[in-house]
Amino acid sequence: MLEALPLALVLLLVLGAEFVNGWTDAPNAIATVISTRVLHPYRAVLMAAVLNIAGALITGTAVAATIGKGIVRPEAIGLPVVAAAMIAIIAWSTIAYRFGLPTSESHALISGLAGAGLVYAGPSVLLWEGWRKVILGLGFSTILGFSLALVVMLVLYNLLRRVGPSSIRRSFGRLQVLSAAFMAFSHGSNDGQKFMGAFSLALVLGGVLPSFQVPLWVVLLCGLVVGLGTMYGGWRIMRTMGFQITKLEPVHGFAAESSAGFAITLASFLGIPLSTTHTINTAIMGVGAARRFSAVRWGVSRQIVLAWLLTFPLCGAIGALLALVFRLVF
């Protein structure tokens, strides 16, 4: 019984980090559809929870595998590394949440694992193949997210220039339900898999699984926890995303969600872990910039970008410090 206690504690920490992910990351998938008042918040949250699980179930576990065995060498680390990374995520994300800033749990997870792994096993613990995908993910989530949304919005402006505002709002109000569903599904296909990968990694390190795989019960459990987190505390992030970056109408929400969903789905297909927060944030900035550059509240955007930039060094440092403490104590 006592031998199983460390594993149980680490698994609880993973679920805790997944719950916090529901506060700060999962709301990104439905923020625009709520801000445009196309869907009632509780219906949007329920849709996001169901489609997050569906996305993780249907699209495979390539991203989970990248997190579980592609960032650090599983055979070179132990449960304290996973525990340190999860505590780093919970600490940093809770601080950011207090200020209403959407953070990237993807980058918090990756940097926390890397920082803890470096202290635990040295530089050789890092795997270049996984980090190459992380670097590609940065390009997908920022450059592709912004530019694709900008182009889609400019095309829509050109196509709809002779259509009345009421007709546009009515038509895209319906279409935005579909784009929000697509965004939630794509979120599950990529971001939803990451903590499933961490949970499965802990099961491997604890001797429960003989090799890395993501059991169905892990998918369902993590999907339920992230949905509960979104229902409990996601509203503050939704306000920042949906109301404070730029003014959104259903046509803007459709363009942002469709563009971000496409970028995320493509990354998931390639097994690239990217930040869904970065992707939908830059897509919202893109649709705002398509209207006019000043339509984007760049002061709010700078605060969000600052939170992104701080995530890697802070979570890496917290993970490293905790791993050092765990190593000295245990």
Per-residue pLDDT reduced to its tens digit, 206-225: 999 998 988 989 988 988 88
Residue 237 has pLDDT above 90, yes or no: no
Greater confidence (39 vs 133) lies with 133
Whether 194 contacts 275, CB under 8 Å = no
Reported as a pLDDT band with limits 50, 70 and 90, residue 1 is very low
pLDDT band at 169 (very low <50, low <70, confident <90, very high): confident
pLDDT given for residue 26 in this prediction:
63
Output 302 or 102, whichever has higher pLDDT.
302
User: Is the whole-model pTM more than 0.75?
Assistant: yes
| Residue bearing the bigger pLDDT, 221 or 3 | 221
Phi-psi region of 247 (alpha: psi -120 to 50; beta: other; left: phi over 0): beta
Residue with the larger pLDDT of the pair 207 and 37: 207
Question: Does residue 323 register a pLDDT over 50?
Answer: yes
Whole-number Å distance between alpha carbons of 254 and 249? 9
Give 242-258 pLDDT, tens digit per residue: 455 566 788 888 998 89
As a whole number, mean pLDDT of residues 186-209 equals 88
% of the chain surpassing 70 pLDDT: 88
Per-domain residue ranges for the chain? 2-329
What are the pLDDT digits (tens) for 248-299? 788 888 998 899 999 998 888 888 888 887 888 888 888 888 877 666 666 6
| Among 303, 277, 324, residue whose Cα is nearest residue 104 | 277
Which residues, including other chains, have CB under 8 Å from residue 50's CB and lie 6 or more apart?
none
Phi first, then psi: what are they for 72, rounded to 5°? -130, 155
Rounded CA-CA distance 88/78 in Å is 16
Summarised one tens digit per residue, pLDDT across range 50-73 is 887 788 778 777 888 888 888 999
Cα separation, 275 vs 273, in Å, equals: 7
d(CA 315, CA 320): 8
Residue 213 and residue 122 in contact, taking contact as beta carbons nearer than 8 Å: no
Question: Average pLDDT in the 102-112 region?
Answer: 83
**In this model, does residue 2 exceed pLDDT 50?**
no
Question: What are the contacts of 310-315 at 24+ separation with CB within 8 A?
Answer: 311/92, 311/103, 311/104, 311/107, 311/108, 311/111, 312/107, 312/111, 313/111, 314/88, 314/92, 315/85, 315/88, 315/89, 315/92, 315/107, 315/108, 315/109, 315/111, 315/112, 315/115
